Structure 1
Amino acid sequence: MMNFDSTSKMNKEVMDNMLTTMSAMTKGFQQIAAEATEYSKKSYEDSAATVEKLVSAKSLDKAIEIQTDYAKTSYETFVAQATKMSELYADLAKEAYKPFEVAASKVAA
């Protein structure tokens, strides 16, 4: 009977850990999706504004300047976004692993 109780308790802990992990993953993926959507929207708006500037450019030199500024800004924004996304994925992994880390420390003790 003692073995059944300990097995039941262990199964409950495992299930709780899995549910906590799934909750953390869901929250993390929602953050990632929201961030990707926001970045896409801003990127589209920036490119549309650049096209408007290019259309109204009075000279080739001004058009090249506008395009160069856009390329530089787009690259910097992309690198910043990629860094932010990688941090979100790292945070997601840490949060998803946390319940199992606690369980592993209990087993090791």
Structure 2
Amino acid sequence: MKKLHWSLLLSFLLASCFCIFGQGMAYFLSEYAVSVAPIYYLTGLTVAGIFLYVVSGLLLLLLIKRQEKVRTHRELYAIVLFTVAPAASLWAFFVTAMWWG
């Protein structure tokens, strides 16, 4: 069960970083990695972030199904996921849409 908890936390934190700090990461990757327009990096980070939020939701459902009797931190995970994920995803989508014009 510890592996499932860590996978959930890692995917959630990575998705949050991609969605919230995607614009800065796009500029950094464009400058120091392959020299591509930052808009393509931002689009990829946004899609990856939203996908990782979906993965986090599925991992949370799996955690709830596996631990029927033990209720450690499940409610907290659900509250944080369902408040942060929509806000961060909408923010990332808005920023990406503004970049695309």
Q: If the length of structure 2 is used for normalisation, what is the TM-score?
A: 0.43
Which structure dedicates a bigger proportion of its chain to helix?
1
Query: TM-score scaled to structure 1, two decimals?
Result: 0.41
